[in-house]
């Protein structure tokens, strides 16, 4: 599941969108790990507005693809900050012991060309699934402390 998080500085110490390149590589994908639960309100399911509670195991009845949950501030690469609503979470980078691979499944059409021996036989095309490696993830950002209210 993809959940977009806009990356921008929350504090005025760094101009918008500027991230120190020595710590975070341009275009690097990272995992964002949250501990606890997230509560979403005013999301619609079947034209009814209702509160949705998603626990750490996930709730299969609701799809949260495309729901923006917060703003991620990476201007201080030692302490990434995630702002969700009126709360601020402080995290840290963690190198994964074993890298994770993002794969893309595709169907590819393979054409069988006729040879001189196959002129009278039917030419059969078939497709098979291939997995392309999109990216390798080496790090994650862990937010395990209690959220602090923004005053």
- Compute the CA torsion angle 31, 37, 42, 44 (nearest 10 deg): 70
Residue 136 has pLDDT above 80, yes or no: yes
CATH assignment of 6-98+138-149, given 2.60.40, 1.10.3860, 1.10.3470, 3.40.1350?
2.60.40
Per-residue pLDDT at 98: 93
Q: Which of 27-31, 61-65, 66-70, 108-112 has the highest mean pLDDT?
A: 27-31
Ranges 54-58, 101-105, 108-112: which has the least confidence: 54-58
Backbone angles phi, psi at 103, to 5 degrees: -115, 150
pLDDT exceeds cutoff 50 at 13: no
User: DSSP secondary-structure letter at 29?
Assistant: -
pLDDT top residue among 43 and 88: 88
pLDDT bracket for residue 114 (50, 70, 90):
low
Give me the pLDDT at residue 60, please. Answer: 52
**pLDDT surpasses 70 at 58:** no
């Amino acid at each position: 599941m993809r959940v977009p998080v806009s990356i921008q500085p929350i504090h005025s110490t760094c101009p918008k969108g500027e991230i120190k390149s020595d710590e975070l590589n341009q275009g690097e994908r990272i995992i964002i790990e949250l501990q606890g639960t997230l509560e979403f309100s005013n999301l619609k399911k079947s034209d009814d507005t209702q509160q949705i509670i998603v626990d750490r195991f996930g709730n299969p009845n609701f799809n949260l693809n495309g729901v923006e949950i917060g703003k991620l501030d990476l201007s201080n690469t030692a302490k990434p900050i995630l702002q969700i609503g009126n709360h601020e979470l402080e995290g840290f980078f963690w190198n994964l012991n074993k890298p994770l691979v993002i794969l893309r499944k595709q169907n590819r059409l393979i054409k069988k060309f006729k040879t001189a021996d196959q002129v009278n036989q039917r030419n059969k095309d078939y497709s098979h699934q291939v997995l392309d490696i999109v990216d390798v993830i080496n790090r994650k950002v862990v937010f395990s402390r209690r959220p602090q209210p923004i005053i």
